[in-house]
A and B are shown apart, each in its own frame.
Chain A
Amino acid sequence: MQVTMTVNGAEATGEIEARLLLVHFLRDHLSLTGTHWGCDTSNCGACAVWLDGEPVKSCTVLAAMAAGHEVRTVEGLERFGELDAVQRGFMECHGLQCGFCTPGMLMTARALLDRNPSPSEQEIREAISGQTCRCTGYATIVRSVQWAAAEEAGTRTSIVDDGAP
Chain B
Amino acid sequence: MQLPAPFDYERATSVDHAIQLLDRLGSGARIVAGGHSLLPMMKLRLVNVEYLIDINDLHRELGYVRVEPARIRIGAMTRHRELLDSPELRRSLPIFHDAERAIADPLVRNRGTIGGALCQADPSEDLSAVCTTLDASCVIRGPGGERVVTMAEFYRGPYETAVGAAEILTEIRIPLRPNGSSAFEKVGRRAGDWPIVSCGVAVWLDGAVITDARVGLAAVGPNTTGIPTVSRALRGRPPSEELFAEAGAIAAACCTPVDDQRGSAGYKRHLAAELTRRALRRAVARLDGRES
Q: Which residues from chain A sit less than 8 Å from chain B, CB to CB?
A: 1, 17-21, 24, 40-42, 45, 48, 51, 54-57, 60-62, 64-65, 108, 126-127, 129-131
Contact = CB atoms under 8 A, between A and B. Distances in A.
Given A24-B1, A129-B105, A130-B105, A56 B7 contact: no
Interface string B1-26: 11111111101000000000000000
A99 B104 CA distance: 24
13 contacts: A18-B9, A20-B3, A40-B2, A60-B36, A60-B111, A61-B39, A62-B35, A62-B52, A62-B54, A64-B9, A108-B106, A129-B191, A129-B192
A35 B7 CA distance: 25
B221 to A, nearest CB: 26
Contacts of A42: 36, 40, 108
B46 interface: no
Contacts of A19: 3-7
Nearest to A53: B110
A60 B192 contact: no
Given A19-B5, A40-B43, A65 B35 contact: yes
B54 A64 contact: yes
A119 to B, nearest CB: 12
A40 B2 CA distance: 7
Nearest to B107: A130
Interface string B245-269: 0000000000000000000000000
B106 A126 contact: yes
B133 to A, nearest CB: 25
Contacts of B36: 42, 60
B223 interface: no
Contact of A130 (B9, B11, B192): B192
Contact of A45 (B6, B9, B35, B107): B107
Contacts of B39: 60-62
A61 B54 CA distance: 11
Closest 6 CB pairs of A and B: A130-B105, A18-B9, A130-B107, A54-B110, A64-B9, A19-B4
Contact of A18 (B52, B108, B192): B52
B111 A18 contact: no
Among B9, B40, B106, find the residue whose CB has the most chain A CB atoms closer than 10 A: B106
A131 B39 CA distance: 19
Contacts of B2: 40-41
B256 to A, nearest CB: 29
Contacts of A56: 107, 110-111
Among A19, A41, A51, find the residue whose CB has the most chain B CB atoms closer than 10 A: A19
Interface in B85-131: 104-108, 110-111
Interface string B135-169: 00000000000000000000000000000000000
B224 interface: no
Contacts of A1: 9
B108 A130 contact: yes
A139 B80 CA distance: 28
Among B3, B107, B110, find the residue whose CB has the most chain A CB atoms closer than 10 A: B107
Given A64-B9, A65-B56, A57 B108 contact: yes
Interface string B38-49: 011001000000
